[in-house]
Amino acid sequence: MGNSTDFSLQDLLALENFNPALTKMDAYLDKLKPRFAEMFGDYKMPKTMSQIREHTRHVFWKENLFGEHYSELGAGFKFTTFPHLTVWIWTDESNPRIEQFKKLLQGVNEGFNNGSTYFELLMPL
C-alpha cells in the first residue's frame, strides 16, 4: 500500500485473509515454543503488529545466549520478498565469545551466513 490510501484488489484480498493467516502462524509458533523453551529457556514474543510493521516478521526469540552480552536466537515467519519460516542466531563483534561463535559459523554450509556475527536459515512456506 505504501503512501497511497487507495486499496488495490490485491490489498483487499490480503486484508481479507490477514486474520486467518495470523491465526495459523500463531498456531504454528505455539507448537514450536515448548521445545524452544525446553532447550533455551524463556523467550520474548513482542506485540505482533509492531514486529510486522517495523521488521516484516512474526517471531519469538531468546536473548543473551552467551551470558550477559546481547545476542539472539529466534524463530518464526519473515515476509521480505516472499513469506517464509526463519531461524536465526546473532551476536555482535564486541561479544567476548565472538571467536567461538565465528568457529561455529565456519562449519555451516547452508542458509545465510556472514561469517562472523549472523546466521539465518530460511524455508519457503
Q: What is the pLDDT of residues 25-49, one digit of tens each?
A: 999 999 999 999 999 999 998 887 8
Edge-to-edge strand ranges of the sheet holding 84-91: 57-63, 71-78, 84-91, 118-124, 112-113
The reported pTM is: 0.83
pLDDT tens digit sequence for 77-120: 999 888 999 999 999 888 888 888 888 888 788 889 888 889 99
C-alpha distance from residue 76 to each of 34, 39, 84, 99, 108 (Å): 14, 16, 8, 27, 20
Domain boundaries, the chain: 9-124
Q: Is the pLDDT of residue 68 over 80?
A: no
Q: For residues 30 and 19, what is the distance between their CA atoms, to the nearest angstrom?
A: 16
Beta bridge partners of 76: 59, 86
